[in-house]
Amino acid sequence: MPQDKKVSLVVIRRLPRYYRYLSDLLSQDIRRISSKELSERMNVTASQIRQDLNCFGGFGQQGYGYNVEYLHEEISKILGLDQGYNTIIIGCGHLGHALANHPGFKRRGFRMIGMFDISEEKVGKQIAGIEIMHTSSLESFIEKNPVDIAILALPKEGVLDISQRLIASGVKGLWNFSSVDLEVIEKGRVAVENVHLSDSLMTLAYKIQERETYKNQSE
């Protein structure tokens, strides 16, 4: 990756989609693809693909296109997937349970090594083969088992205290499913990715409304 310029977050957010499509191509034993062919599969312009990949060196060859396996590996490195990440989940309700059983995490280098909850009813039980521990043991666990990423699947009332404890313990990244925008509070101290499921659902509602409005105007 070029070191003399900062890559736009908009471009970074498109990289996982490239990675996913390239994974599908490899599963189909497709070893070479042009930017035009890739654009048709992804429904983005070939120019956009070239611009995005040029931020990291380009990777394509004129008259040849892209070596799918090589590009897949390079995007994996850019995203840091080749490093492997020790991951824990805080909050073992329905969402935490679903995330723990997600089949793609381990395949992409996210190793689930611990689960925590405040509920005595849940402590001691297992999810995806991992025993749930009480959040009171969080610091001692991290001291013995360095954690890269903590997934926050707990109510917003407890997320600030937990996030501060995680940051103090040296956790590098927080994947936050609560309704608190942690990067506003802890900006610069830890990498944060906020996921607001309701925001996505409301965006879908807008798209439905927009579609219906267009349909009615066309009739």
* CA–CA gap between residue 132 and residue 138 (Å, rounded): 11
Residue with tokens 């909050």: 91
Domains 9-78 and 85-199 alike in fold: no
Residue with tokens 């040029």: 54
* CA–CA gap between residue 129 and residue 100 (Å, rounded): 10
If one looks up domain 9-78 in CATH, what number appears? Answer: 1.10.10.10
Domain boundaries in the chain? Answer: 9-78, 85-199
pLDDT at 72 over 60: yes
pLDDT at 198 over 80: yes
User: What burial class does residue 25 get, using C-beta atoms within 10 Å of its C-beta: 0-12 exposed, 13-18 middle, 19+ buried?
Assistant: buried
In the chain, pLDDT over 70 holds for what percent of residues? 94
Instruction: Write out pLDDT tens, residues 117-137.
Output: 999 999 999 999 999 999 999
Pairing mode of beta strands 110-117, 173-176: unpaired
CATH class belonging to 85-199: alpha beta
Q: How far is CA 156 from the centre of its chain?
A: 20
SS3 1: coil
Q: pLDDT-derived band of residue 5, with 50, 70 and 90 as boundaries?
A: low
Phi-psi region of 38 (alpha: psi -120 to 50; beta: other; left: phi over 0): alpha
* CA–CA gap between residue 189 and residue 171 (Å, rounded): 10
